[in-house]
Amino acid sequence: MDRMQLLQTLTGHEGRVWSASWHPSGNLFASCGQDKTIKVWAKTENYRWVAQKVLTKGHSRTIRDVAWSYCGHYLASASFDTTVAVWDQKSGEFECNATLEGHDNEVKSVTWSRSGNLLATCSRDKSVWIWEVHNAPDQEDEYECVAVLNGHTQDVKKVCWHPQEDLLASASYDNTIRMYRQDMVDNEWEMLEPMESHTSTVWSIAFDASGKRLASCSEDKTVKIWQQYGPDNTLGIPCPEKGSVWKCVCTLAGFHTRAVYDIDWCKQTGLLATACGDDMARIFRETPNSDPNEPTFELVVMFAAHSQDVNKVAWHPVTPGVLLTAGDDATIKIWQYQEEN
Amino acid sequence: MTELENIKPNVYLKCEDRKLTKDDQDENVVDPFDEREIFDLIRNINDPEHPLTLEELHVLEQSLITVDNEKNIVQILFTPTIPHCSMATLIGLSIRVKLLRALPPRFKVSVEINPGTHASEHAVNKQLSDKERVAAALENTHLTEVINQCIGTPLK
């Protein structure tokens, strides 16, 4: 069995830590939670993480999610107070320079596109919003809502952009995952067919490095792997004209004993990490030589990550095997994955 | 509340107080959480409609509580007084909040409807088990006031 070495336990948040996001450089990360604050953590010379900044004036209720833009200049935060705040350091200090309003209810998740000019948010109000970012180096940035997508029939828990393309995925309390892309002819955002297989709330989703696979995790205690099939696929899977379909090719059942709240697919190592309501985090690896159309995954590490529910897992964007976890026990932990030879 | 949903609910007797044993009073004896202790924590929660406790309405019964102290699991089944009770979610939420405040955080508490006793039991159960929605609900000041009223000891 491989193992996880605990590098550091970070305290400072009061109450549940809901989410965290690595800066693309890997030298910073941001965390958020029930205490309505965002903390920005930086690495000191002796490789210890310390809270460098605490952002307190952005939100009046729980901050559910945070996300750095790929350029690393912007941090977005999603709150139960129905707004999304965008923070930057143009003045030298972190400041909230834009507040995105429009959702009728709690905002659950926020995500930046790879290109950096699109932002997506989702809410308890069942909708997914896409915002276009108009950068202006010497003036204030502007955010324009370009689509309100009402495909889900319930609370939307998570939004996640494709790692290369402007393809958006969302996960919901209605048990489905949906994808959205822009129609080339009229530029309108369109919804693809819902991806149905989970039997309860889909809490989170993550693409692999290629963007041809998606992993999802659910209240139903399973993890599913979805594979994209284009019109040229050799299996004869029917596809819409010029489009592709996503099929569930693997279900990891029997590994988790409670709801699985988050999942992250490492872009460097291909390892899959999950955060579970049984206080454990788990790492899965695709079995070598497994059939790409019927892949198998094996559990390589299961470890007691927190003393309460684990809410978040996030692989370091640069250093392979470094994993961040956050939990209801108000702590954030940094781990190093070690393969047993 | 202008109109009562369940005008004449059946009312049942309260159970007797727990009989204290020698060990219960001995500080050196570790007594793990048991079904009776959990029941005592929640049996005096008030019904949102009636000046009666959940025990008196048989919404809660000790036999429908499961505790595994070792595994940190507490499971409560509650029985709404009528199958279309619109208060079911609020009652379940009050039970959750009471146990959230009273029990150490190591416990995983699940509160569900006694199977077959409510028309939308699946939807109510799903909502009660969604910790994110429960957290959001508890930030609603009006709702927490109502819940606090239910949890507070009765004025009699």
How many Cβ atoms sit within 10 Å of the Cβ of residue B134?
Answer: 17
Q: With an 8 Å Cβ cutoff, is A153 touching chain B?
A: no
Nearest CA in chain A to B107: A308
How many Cβ atoms sit within 10 Å of the Cβ of residue B43?
Answer: 19
Q: What is the pLDDT of residues B76-102, one digit of tens each?
A: 999 999 999 899 999 999 999 999 999
Domain ranges for chain B:
32-151
Q: Which residues of B touch A329 (CB under 8 A)?
A: 105
pLDDT on residue B22: 80
Please tell me what DSSP assigns to residue B91: H
Tell if the CB–CB gap between A16 and B106 is shorter than 8 Å: no
Nearest CA in chain B to A79: B136
Q: What is the CATH code of the structural domain delimited by B32-151?
A: 3.30.300.130
CB-side neighbour CA atoms (13 Å) of A69: 19
ipTM: 0.94
A124-153: average pLDDT: 92
Nearest CA in chain A to B73: A278
Rounded Cα gap, residues A179 and A151, in angstroms? 10
pLDDT tops 80 at residue B67? yes
pLDDT on residue B156: 46
Q: Which residues of A touch B137 (CB under 8 A)?
A: none
pLDDT tops 70 at residue A143? yes
B88-to-A87, A326, B12, B61 alpha-carbon distances in Å: 41, 32, 19, 16
Q: Which amino acid, one-letter code, is at A35?
A: D
Q: Which residues contact A61 (CB under 8 A, 6 or more apart)?
A: A36, A79, A80, A81, A106, B139
Q: Which residue has the higher pLDDT, A241 or B55?
A: B55
CB-side neighbour CA atoms (13 Å) of A197: 20
Q: How far is A32 from chain B (nearest CA, A)?
A: 14
**CATH code, A48:** 2.130.10.10
Q: Closest partner residue to A80 among B106, B126, B136, by Cβ?
A: B136
Q: With an 8 Å Cβ cutoff, is B104 touching chain A?
A: no
Number of folded domains that form chain A:
1
pLDDT tops 60 at residue B155? no
Q: What is the pLDDT of residues A327-340, one digit of tens each?
A: 999 999 999 999 98
Residue with tokens 């009273």: B102
Q: What is the pLDDT of residues A145-157, one digit of tens each?
A: 999 999 999 999 9
Rounded Cα gap, residues A188 and A317, in angstroms? 32
Please tell me what DSSP assigns to residue A194: P
What are the phi and psi torsion angles at A288 (to 5°)? -55, 140
A275 closest CA partner among A174, A331, A187, A204: A204
pLDDT tops 80 at residue B1? no
Lowest mean pLDDT among A25-29, A58-62, B2-6: B2-6
Q: What is the pLDDT of residues A219-243, one digit of tens each?
A: 999 999 999 998 888 888 888 877 8
Q: Which residues of B touch A219 (CB under 8 A)?
A: 126, 129-130
